[in-house]
């Protein structure tokens, strides 16, 4: 019986992680340049069940022992392009399907920051900057 509880608990934890990923995707559905996440599950090894009595077949079948989250990944597939009236709004599209392209901007401390949000403006000095001012 305790084995069944552990199997159920592992399934609930895996499903909770999947729900968290889906919730994050929904919360960012209107975020420009947001890339959705996905969840990959892995099953724990199955166990063979054998009958120890002499009557009937000795091999009964397999018993699943649960699942776990193997990986949470970012889906870099290109999203829908939108036409705007702002000439400073840019979009990335390359020969690989847009999966490896990022805008590179300089952060406040000189570090490089990568973004896929192409909503740019001009600062007071006439430099092209992100909405955050980078």
User: What is the residue extent of each domain of the chain?
Assistant: 2-74, 79-134
Overall average pLDDT of the 87-115 stretch: 81
Overall average pLDDT of the 96-125 stretch: 83
Q: Which of the two residues, 110 and 76, has the higher pLDDT score? A: 110
* CA 62 – CA 46 distance, rounded (Å): 6
The 3-state DSSP class for residue 132 equals: coil
> Mean of the per-residue pLDDT values for the chain?
84
Half-sphere exposure at residue 95, Cβ-oriented, CA atoms within 13 angstroms: 0
What is the predicted pLDDT for the residue at 60? 72
Q: Count other C-beta atoms under 10 Å from residue 66's C-beta.
A: 19
Q: Which residues are within 8 A (CB) of 52 and not within 5 positions of it... i.e. 6 or more apart?
A: none
Is 64's pLDDT higher than 70?
A: yes
- In tens, the pLDDT along 4-46 reads 888 889 889 999 999 999 999 999 988 877 889 999 999 888 7
- pLDDT band for position 72 (50/70/90)? very high
What is the predicted pLDDT for the residue at 62? 79
Is 91's pLDDT higher than 80?
A: yes
């Amino acid at each position: 019986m305790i084995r069944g509880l552990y199997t159920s608990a592992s399934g609930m934890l895996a499903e909770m992680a999947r729900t968290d990923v889906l919730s994050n995707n929904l919360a960012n559905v209107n975020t420009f340049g947001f890339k959705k996440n996905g969840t990959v599950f892995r099953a724990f090894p199955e166990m063979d069940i054998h009958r120890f009595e002499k009557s009937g077949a000795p091999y009964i079948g397999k018993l699943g022992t649960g699942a776990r989250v193997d990986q949470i990944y970012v889906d870099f597939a290109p999203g829908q392009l939108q036409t705007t009236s702002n000439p400073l709004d840019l979009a990335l599209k390359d020969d690989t399907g847009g999966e490896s392209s990022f805008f590179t901007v300089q952060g406040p401390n000189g570090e490089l920051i990568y973004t896929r949000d192409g909503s740019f403006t001009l600062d007071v000095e006439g430099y092209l900057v992100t909405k955050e001012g980078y």
